Amino acid sequence: MRRERRVKILATLGPASSSAEMISELFDCGADAFRINMSHTSHEELRTLHRTIRDVETQKRRPICILVDLQGPKFRIGRFADGEIQLEPGDTFVLDMEETPGDTSRVELPHPQIFQAVAPGDTLLLNDGRLGLAVREVDETRIVTEVEIGGPLSDRKGVNLPDTVLPLSALTPKDRSDLDCALDLDVDWIALSFIQRADDVAEAKKVARGRAAIMAKIEKPAALGSLDQILELADGIMVARGDLGVELPLEQVPGRQKQIVRAARRIGRPVVVATQMLESMIEQPVPTRAEVSDVATAVFEGADAIMLSAESAVGAYPDKAVAMMDDIAQAVEKDPFYGDIIHAQRTEPEPTSADAISAAARTVAQTLNLAAIVCYTSSGATGIRAARERPATPIVALTPIAATGRRLALVWGLHCVLTADARDLDDMVARACRIAYQEGYARAGQRIIISAGFPLGTPGATNMLRIAFVGRDGMEES
């Protein structure tokens, strides 16, 4: 199966989309990768979904990416004697460590880390940012606040701390257990929640030991302050606009999205734009015009992937949501302005032979109007470098390693094909011509450009370009 677009689609699985039939349908509609949210998934359910996706992968004969999203730390207040209270602006409200039910003056906050880190002047946000409290006094067991944004508040609502860096790991005991289970299944990507600093990424990578790629979710203001360091360590980045929109003023989120996407593209890290992209399709068969524009903006920015959350997990129209996202992406990539916008955001290659080769492949392919760029990639580095250039020419990534093909299924523009490693240079060229022909990227008489590293199979050693003619039946013509 050949996609007619470069940006990839990541669909979240859930009650509406966990059957083999629906997963197969979502793939046919355009999903390249599937997200499993461990906030709502048991280990047994994870194993079942993993097995189902791999069965679909075998049927479709295409690498399919699996991303497991860890929950991360969650902070919630306790319960109220009457179940719900009303807070008014100007009220004094106390959060403390007492286990007794709360009232209009106080409530339990059973998280000692918050008491250690919060300071006067900080803001606490409750119930997904609907209520705002300004910290006035704090000690080891009590936080005295003034209500700035009032409203109803009920049991167990969440707490966000946009101004506070908390002294805790991004991996809770639950996350570590979920991570171990995911790694045992050989999933392709791990999305790491609650990133505050680069050390959080380093901790997860130490546990993973290369068995899965680590995607850092940027959802906290503290992570924005350490974005460059996080990018250096992470294998990929997710713009998690849900929590980011809670902890930042909403009007700042679009600019921050552009900042993150461009920073990731500059350094060559796959970047996913996520959350509420087609939110109305949870209940409606068509999206709003604003949602269509939101998806289009992410595609114009050159994001590697765009993500569906509740739309495909619990929505009434999961297949229609994927198909709509596919339609929007295809329309954007055919827009006459698309090429100019993508080109304007392209960055200069790094001063390495591998980056120079990838940039040269794009230039040669464009100048000579070649049918395809075919890159051999073992670790995936060559494929990611080719995608970083965002060429107008299709990219076919050949790899002998199934895990690499699956991981690259989330990367912009890469059509991944599993094939045995080439025996020598002649076999490499012949194999590239044959696969480009069989996959529908080149016709007899057209030319392709091939990039690879020598010695063959050496990770990250991209050092060769070769132009080849595709002959009849896909064989190379001299």
Radius of gyration of the chain (CA): 24
> Of these residues, 35, 106, 388, 431, which one is catalytic?
35
3: left (phi over 0), alpha (psi -120 to 50) or beta: beta
Token duo for residue 50: 């993993």
* Of 279, 261, 199, 259, the residue nearest 234 (C-alpha): 199
* Of 200, 216, 275, the residue nearest 244 (C-alpha): 275
Distance CA 245, CA 231 (A): 21
> Of these residues, 164, 275, 382, 462, which one is catalytic?
275
Are 24 and 56 in contact by the 8 Å Cβ rule? The answer is yes
Told to judge if 35 belongs to the known catalytic residues of this protein, a careful annotator would answer: yes
The number of residues making up the chain comes to 478
Are 27 and 64 in contact by the 8 Å Cβ rule? The answer is yes
Q: What is the 3-state secondary structure (H, E, C) of the chain?
A: CCCCCCCEEEEECCCCCCCHHHHHHHHHHCCCEEEEECCCCCHHHHHHHHHHHHHHHHHHCCCCEEEEECCCCCCECCCECCCEEEECCCCEEEEECCCCCECCCEEECCCHHHHHHCCCCCEEEECCCCEEEEEEEECCCEEEEEEEECEEEECCCEEECCCCCCCCCCCCHHHHHHHHHHHHCCCCEEEECCCCCHHHHHHHHHHHCCCCEEEEEECCHHHHHCHHHHHHHCCEEEEEHHHHHHHCCHHHHHHHHHHHHHHHHHHCCCEEEECCCCHHHHCCCCCCHHHHHHHHHHHHCCCCEEEECHHHHCCCCHHHHHHHHHHHHHHHHCCCCHHHHHHHCCCCCCCCHHHHHHHHHHHHHHHCCCCEEEEECCCCHHHHHHHHCCCCCCEEEEECCHHHHHHHCCCCCEEEEECCCCCCHHHHHHHHHHHHHHCCCCCCCCEEEEEEECCCCCCCCEEEEEEEEECHHHCEEC
* Of 241, 87, 216, 223, the residue nearest 151 (C-alpha): 87
> Of these residues, 76, 176, 262, 346, which one is catalytic?
76
Question: Looking only at Cα atoms, what is the longest distance across the chain?
Answer: 83
Told to judge if 275 belongs to the known catalytic residues of this protein, a careful annotator would answer: yes
Distance CA 109, CA 460 (A): 49
> Of these residues, 8, 157, 217, 434, which one is catalytic?
217
Active site residues: 35, 76, 217, 275
